[in-house]
Amino acid sequence: MKENVRYFLAITAKWAAVVSLLAITGVIAFHFIHRRPVPAESLVEAAPAVRLPGENVDRKEGVEHVLFKGGQGKTRVKADKFYLGEDKLNHLEGNVEVVDYGKTGGQEIILLADRVDYDQDLNNFHAAGRARVKDKDVLIESSSFDYDKKGDVLRTDQGVVFSSNRLKANSRSLTYRNRAQTLEFEGDLAIEVRPKMETDLPLSVVGDKFLYKRKPKTGWVDGNVRMSHGKSRGTAETLIFWLTSDEQEVTSIVLQGAAKAAFFKETAKDVEDPGQQIEADQIHLISFPDESKMSRIIAKGSCSLTFSVSAGTTDKVQGRWVSLDFDRAGDLTDFSTKGEARVDLTDRAGGDERRVWGNRIIYRKKEDVLKTVGTDNMPARIDSARTEVEAGWIAVNQESGDMESSGDVKLVLKPGKDDKAVGFFSKDKPVFISCKDLAYTKANKRFLFKEDVRIWQDKDVVLAKEFEILEDSGEVFGRGGVKASFTHKPKDKPGEERLAIGADEMSYVPKGRIIKFAGGSSLDTNAMKLTSADLAISLKEEGNAMDRILAKGKVVIIQETKEGRGEEANYDLMADTVVLTGRPVLVEKDKGTTEGDKLTFYLGDGRILIENKERGRSAAVIKS
């Protein structure tokens, strides 16, 4: 019984499997008999991505997509055509626009071109054919660009034109680092900074390389730099410039490395402008805050400048550091130079040429004063055809010609072509003067010396607290503790004799050729000492040789043990005699007093002749 049941179940299972297979086969047959045709495109999409060489896949037209890729941020692409090439790059063609929004947004870079190729990871883009890049207010144009999105770098070596608000640059190659906002140009470089006002002139620069940082608005141009701004020109190894925050104006320019520049005002054609010629290791040009006009020039290192300080003059300035200030009309207002400074002043009208030295030299147009300041090792100095001055500082008014100086002043009055002598000194030799303070007034050609004044020529010397010389008239005045030392050649005596004179004041008037000493006067020679109220030295008609000395007022003559007293003494230097008059009295030590009408002192042999009119012209001779 059990075996019959098992047999029945086995037969039933077998036929059930056959029926099920037949049913499935029928369903499949029915599907193939009654199905609709499938489009070829769907078959391709379902098929494996196998391509033959040269075959393009995914070709589309009129595409616009927004793409995201990991940490690369959002990128939007738009073009007339798109396809995936066998080079595994995406290709955009026709009116291509790629917008890179950056990783965090807010830094849109727009890439426009006829064709753009980029990889699947959105890292590298290549643009060709009328390629342009827009970054805010920046436009960069070239025939092709390579853009490294990951590195945030744009490059080209196919020639490029860069332009922003006021800046334009052309070169053969460019590297633009967007995140750092720096641009590196190289080869066939030309830069132009356009002014805000259309009436102003642009600044043009050419060179080998150009680095521009947009955040600090700073640019560096290296190699064979040439700059031009209207008539002005400049050359250097390197040029650095700064722009305002809106890139509207140039705030300053630095030329460095064998820098040379020539600056001119943009004046009418018929107006001559000598301009400023500058050579230095570095030249710094600074503009006014609100316009592209120079307000200051600062030069450093081996500076040499040629410019106009005042009307009718052409001047040269040298030093280790020089600063020039200008007004808005382009006229020089102030300048200063320091470090072995020198200024050469040339008068076009044919006046004196002056050379100025010092540690620092300063000019202020408002006061029209040129001042030079020295140091212990390098005093201030001014040299001209007529005078040479050395002092702690010297100041000269450019218009009036007046001069002041102070601090260990030394002055040399040189022989003039007009044959004018300095006071009673010889006209053929220089006169030397030293003092603490000096003032010169050109209108009346007056020198005023103060404090510890010493004037000398050869062996003749005059000392005083204050001294005054009038160049035109030749008059001389000394005040305060006057001391003079003169030499003369006595008759029939070998060598020279020195005369020492002292007084409160002295004066000299060329018309009378008399040097006058007043107040507590004294005269010392080898043979005698004389004191009086006043002394007067008469000079010979030619030269400055002394002829005679006249003493007046309480005259006292001391000669060894003898003393002569009177009211007037006449010292004949050629005869080597002194005649004492005015109720003269001779006092001899231990011998008493002798009176007479006239006492004559023979200085050569020491004799004294006493004459008396009332006694029949009696005479007595006293020998030493």
What type of residue is 412? V
Q: Which long-range contacts link 64-73 to residues 24+ away (Cβ below 8 Å)?
A: 67/122, 69/121, 69/122, 70/121, 71/103, 72/103, 72/121, 72/122, 72/123, 72/149, 72/150, 73/100, 73/101, 73/102, 73/103, 73/104, 73/105
Q: Are residues 101 and 187 in the same domain?
A: no
Is there a contact between 539 and 509 (Cβ–Cβ < 8 Å)?
Answer: no
Q: In this model, does residue 499 exceed pLDDT 80?
A: yes
Tell me the average pLDDT across 327-334.
82
Q: In this model, does residue 30 exceed pLDDT 60?
A: no
DSSP assignment of 218-229 equals: EEEEEEEEEEEE
Which of 158, 186, 221 is at the close of a domain?
158
Q: Are residues 139 and 247 in the same domain?
A: no
| Least confident among 217-226, 246-255, 563-572 | 246-255
pLDDT at position 70: 61
Is there a contact between 237 and 218 (Cβ–Cβ < 8 Å)?
Answer: no
Residue 599 falls within a domain, yes or no?
Answer: yes
Pull the structure tokens for residue 253.
């320019």
Tell me the average pLDDT across 347-354.
63
DSSP assignment of 539-600 equals: EPSSTT-EEEEEEEEEEEEEETTEEEEEEEEEEETTTTEEEEESS-EEEETTTEEEE-SEEE
- Residues 6 or more apart whose Cβ sits within 8 Å of residue 503: 482, 517, 518, 519, 520, 521, 522, 534, 535
Q: Are residues 61 and 164 in the same domain?
A: no
Is there a contact between 135 and 157 (Cβ–Cβ < 8 Å)?
Answer: no
Nearest CA among 305, 414, 435 for reference residue 363: 305
pLDDT at position 497: 86
Q: Is 260 exposed, middle or buried (0-12, 13-18, 19+ CB in 10 A)?
A: middle
pLDDT at position 575: 87
Tell me the average pLDDT across 108-137.
90
In whole angstroms, what is the distance from residue 194 CA to residue 204 CA? 9
Higher per-residue pLDDT: 20 or 499: 499
Q: Are residues 170 and 294 in the same domain?
A: yes
| Least confident among 150-164, 234-248, 286-300 | 286-300
Q: Are residues 549 and 505 in the same domain?
A: yes
Q: In this model, does residue 71 exceed pLDDT 80?
A: no
**What is the H or E stretch that residue 619 is in?**
strand 618-622
- DSSP lists the bridge partners of residue 305 as 278, 317
Residue 487 falls within a domain, yes or no?
Answer: no
Nearest CA among 428, 424, 578, 432 for reference residue 510: 424
Is there a contact between 611 and 583 (Cβ–Cβ < 8 Å)?
Answer: no
Q: In this model, does residue 359 exceed pLDDT 60?
A: yes
Tell me the average pLDDT across 13-35.
37
| Least confident among 9-13, 187-191, 455-459 | 9-13
Residue 531 falls within a domain, yes or no?
Answer: yes
| Least confident among 193-202, 531-540, 580-589, 596-605 | 193-202
DSSP assignment of 138-181 equals: EEEEEEEEEEETTTTEEEE-S-EEEE-SSEEEEESEEEEETTTT
**What is the H or E stretch that residue 15 is in?**
helix 2-34
The percent helix, strand, coil of the chain (3-state, each to 5) is 5, 60, 30
Q: In this model, does residue 17 exceed pLDDT 50?
A: no
Q: What are phi and psi of 44, to 5 degrees?
A: -65, -40
CA 246 to centroid of chain Cα atoms: 29
Q: In this model, does residue 559 exceed pLDDT 80?
A: yes
Which of 125, 158, 191 is at the close of a domain?
158
Q: Are residues 147 and 182 in the same domain?
A: no
Pull the structure tokens for residue 124.
């590298």
pLDDT one-digit tens code per residue, 437-478: 999 999 999 999 999 999 999 999 999 999 999 988 889 999
Q: Are residues 178 and 270 in the same domain?
A: yes
Task: Report the greatest alpha carbon distance in the chain.
Answer: 215
In whole angstroms, what is the distance from residue 507 CA to residue 423 CA? 9
Residue 219 falls within a domain, yes or no?
Answer: yes
Q: Are residues 183 and 134 in the same domain?
A: no
Q: Are residues 116 and 212 in the same domain?
A: no
What type of residue is 42? S
Q: In this model, does residue 407 exceed pLDDT 70?
A: yes
pLDDT at position 484: 95
Higher per-residue pLDDT: 128 or 59: 128
Residue 121 belongs to what domain range? 57-158
Nearest CA among 515, 513, 517 for reference residue 535: 517
How many other CB atoms sit within 10 Å of the CB of residue 323?
19
Q: Are residues 154 and 252 in the same domain?
A: no
In whole angstroms, what is the distance from residue 238 CA to residue 251 CA? 17
- DSSP lists the bridge partners of residue 260 as 235, 279
Give percent of the chain above pLDDT 70.
82
How many domains is the chain built from?
3
DSSP assignment of 399-463 equals: TT--EEEEEEEEEEEPPPTT---STTS-TTS-EEEEEEEEEEETTTTEEEEEEEEEEEETTEEEE
Residue 403 falls within a domain, yes or no?
Answer: no
Higher per-residue pLDDT: 327 or 394: 394
Residue 265 falls within a domain, yes or no?
Answer: yes
Q: Are residues 82 and 218 in the same domain?
A: no
Give percent of the chain above pLDDT 90.
45
Q: Are residues 67 and 113 in the same domain?
A: yes
How many other CB atoms sit within 10 Å of the CB of residue 344?
15
Residue 446 falls within a domain, yes or no?
Answer: no
What is the band of 48 on the pLDDT scale with cuts at 50, 70, 90? very low
pLDDT one-digit tens code per residue, 538-551: 998 777 788 899 99
Q: In this model, does residue 270 exceed pLDDT 90?
A: no
**Nearest-5° Cα angle at 293, 288 to 295:** 50
Which of 264, 287, 307 is at the close of a domain?
307
Pull the structure tokens for residue 488.
């003369």
Residue 49 falls within a domain, yes or no?
Answer: no
Is there a contact between 263 and 272 (Cβ–Cβ < 8 Å)?
Answer: no
Higher per-residue pLDDT: 418 or 138: 138
Tracing tokens 């008014």 back to the chain, one arrives at 397
What type of residue is 417? K
The pTM (predicted TM-score) of the whole model is: 0.74
| Least confident among 5-19, 175-189, 311-325, 537-551 | 5-19
CATH code for the domain in which residue 123 is found: 2.60.450.10
**What is the H or E stretch that residue 40 is in?**
helix 40-46
**Mean pLDDT for the chain?**
82
Higher per-residue pLDDT: 431 or 232: 431
Q: What are phi and psi of 12, to 5 degrees?
A: -65, -45
